[in-house]
Amino acid sequence: MSITSVAIVGTGHASTVTARTLRRRGFDGAITLLGEESHAPYQRPPLSKEFLAGTADDASLALLTPKVIADNDITIRTGTRVEAIDPTTRTLSLVGGETLTADAVVLATGGRPRELPGFAVGSSPRVHYLRTFDDAVRLRDRLRAGSRLAVVGGGFIGLEIAATARGFGLDVTVVEAGRQILEPRLGAQIAGLCADLHRSNGVDLRCGVGVESVADGSSGLQLSLSDGTVLDVDDVVIGIGIEPSTELAVAAGLHVDNGIVVDTVGRTSQPGIYAVGDVAARYSEAAGRHVRVEHVDNANRQGSVVARAILGEEKPDDSAHWFWSDQYEFNIQFTGHHQGADDLVFRGSVDDREFSAFYLRDGHLTAAFAIDRGEDIMAAREMLGRPFDRAMLSDEDLDLWELGEEGVLA
């Protein structure tokens, strides 16, 4: 069937890259983006970083400039929730009763914050979750020097909020149920260095404790923790991950299992319907299983793959994971998978917080982490899966790109 119209549900990173790639690859049919939020497509990463800190304005968040929208002839309908999809006719039912039928439908619906029992979204002006522009504006209004903030969940978003709040002079406590912040993501040793970074910036890190209950009083919240202590705070941010927004797919009978299940190029179990970005559980040949990834780089890459698939080009992209985070004045980057690593090699100065760390398994590079050394991560990304000599990796006189090119050292 020749495709003359594509409807994309969602207006985030995955959606906009899919739309732009369709045009770049020569598609001249109608492209419609439907987003339930009232804002034009915007970037989420700054919401916990420079936008929350007040150093980036609304305009700088835009994902598409008016010129790009016009040049690419993309129709963007904000404030338009898609309520249902008829999977056989690919007809979308929109809020208000309107319908829209397209030759191809892309579900780029992202995710929503996982709720902590007792802290329902919207239950109190003192309880915050951070996923949307509106969430960030609400939270930013509460960041006042001297006020007390608890962050529940020591993942990247929670820690970015903690760092930003310290910048405003708040008294910040991070409550992490796991043994150490970030440990599942980075492994114990690097997670420990990240914990040091926060402690040395004045964050009170409480690991291995959960929140048992909360009392909302007139002067603040009282959080009762599992170790018997009580935290008195003005505000709490819950950052314990997201749930993929799969409700449309579930109702349409698509295969869903921790995300909308798709093949290597984003095709769902229903012909003509695709899924991409945080919501998609994509089959990865490299991993040998379905993976759901919550990073901008994944949303961008897979958006491009899905656009090509719609146009009949099968070009899977199984590139290694890569993500960044900004905390205090530091830029953090990571690539690969650290699980199973048996050795960690450092390059640069851990004391000055300007280093990279290479995770090896049986001498093979599986992952790399860096603080303020993004260039090392770019090089490492090309080196993953190959054997390297640990002394050479740590030798600052050797150029990593050259090492990567000259290669494989037994």
Q: Which residues bind ligand FAD (CB under 6 A)?
A: 9-15, 34-37, 44-45, 47-48, 81-82, 108-111, 130-131, 157, 245, 248, 277-278, 294-297, 299, 323-325
Distance of CA 49 to the CA centre of its chain: 13
Task: State the nearest-atom distance from the C-beta of 132 to ligand FAD, in Å.
Answer: 7
Residue for token pair 């090492």: 403
Residues 6+ apart with CB under 8 A from 65: none
Q: Quick one: 91 or 224, whose CB is closer to ligand FAD?
A: 91
User: What are phi and psi for residue 45, nearest 5 degrees?
Assistant: -50, -40
Note whether 131 and 245 are within 8 A (CB).
Answer: no
Q: How far is the CB of 96 from ligand FAD (least distance, A)?
A: 12
**Residue among 135 and 376 whose Cβ is closer to ligand FAD:** 135
Report residue 357 as tokens: 């760390």
Q: How far is the CB of 202 from ligand FAD (least distance, A)?
A: 22
Tell the smallest beta-carbon distance from residue 99 to ligand FAD (Å).
14
Least separation in angstroms between residue 326's CB and ligand FAD is: 7
Nearer to ligand FAD, 235 or 278 (CB): 278
200: tokens are 């040395």
In angstroms, rounded to a whole number, what is the distance separating the alpha carbons of residues 158 and 366?
26
What Å distances lie between residue 390 and 58, 378, 399, CA to CA?
45, 18, 14
Give me the residue label for tokens 């936008």: 51
Q: Which is nearer to ligand FAD, 93 or 224 (CB)?
A: 93
Q: Is the dihedral of CA 38, 43, 48, 49 positive or negative?
A: negative
Helix (H, G, I), strand (E, B) or coil at 287: coil
The least distance separating ligand FAD from the CB of residue 84, rounded to whole angstroms, comes to 9
For ligand FAD, the closer of residues 157 and 365 by Cβ is 157
Q: Alpha-carbon distance 342 to 376, whole Å?
A: 20
The tokens describing 223, both together, are 């959080």
d(CA 194, CA 186): 9
Between 14 and 174, whose beta carbon lies closer to ligand FAD?
A: 14
Of 183 and 294, nearer to ligand FAD (C-beta) is: 294
Least distance from ligand FAD to the Cβ atom of residue 238, Å: 12
